[in-house]
Structure 1
């Protein structure tokens, strides 16, 4: 449970086990074209879905059609990570 600004308790993010893939996603240090391009491991930082879109964490999690199946139902459970309230349990 977390405390709201008014002092009442509110449900926190779901308990999530930290894995290497989750850590790479949270830090942006995974196999994303933008990251790999920095180290000359990819020729371009752009995504294969659209040559105008940089493939970074937010692109993959929010909009890339190539990762639609991996995003599942799109219920947004990962958004607590983006908003800075991710907690390791």
Structure 2
């Protein structure tokens, strides 16, 4: 299964840094290697098929070498992701049951309808949550701490979660997390109109 994410970028002062983070998050979530790795793999397979000498260690098979290339590529992409993403996924590989969607991707990356992000890209005058005057409203605050969403966290039995990576540790919790993200996004989106 291949997951394709379409990223809508906002114009801001840190566009290059955001582009790198966006590409890294997308690469890590989709588990698709960058084009240069894909080309290198195709070259290796072509050389092997046509008995052209290969330039990799002789103590491993071609399959192992290709797996190592893919793993190293994902590891590199993971190190380039933003801090919010790393709180959900502190290490790779990403569990196979993770199927990011429009809502969860915003929470993984922190690039959504959150006051902290909107303030950073100069779309809001404040970065604080409406639940208090001094707490930045980011995705982590909303899913774990914000009192506005205490009831839905209890209904979904997610109220004992204290760390973002706990939302993605098993399929059952992840399914509930997707519902939480959609609920919060929908609520925030209605507040802005």
- TM-score bin, normalised by smaller chain: 0.5 to 0.7
1:81 deviates by 5.9
Q: In 1, distance between residues paired with 2:96 and 2:157?
A: 17
- Within 5 Å, which residues of 2 pair with 1:1-80? 15-71=97-153, 72-74=156-158, 75-76=160-161, 79-80=165-166
SS at match of 1:60: helix
SS at match of 1:42: coil
Q: In 2, distance between residues paired with 1:41 and 1:82?
A: 30
Q: Which runs of 5+ in 1 are unaligned?
A: 1-11, 84-89
TM-score with structure 2 length normalisation? Answer: 0.32
TM-score with structure 1 length normalisation? Answer: 0.64
Q: In 1, distance between residues paired with 2:168 and 2:122?
A: 27
Which entry has the higher C-alpha Rg, 1 or 2? 2
Q: Which runs of 5+ in 2 are unaligned?
A: 1-93, 170-193
Kindly indicate whether structure 1 or structure 2 has the higher relative contact order, using CA contacts under 8 Å at least 6 residues apart. Answer: 1
User: Aligned-residue CA RMSD in angstroms?
Assistant: 2.9
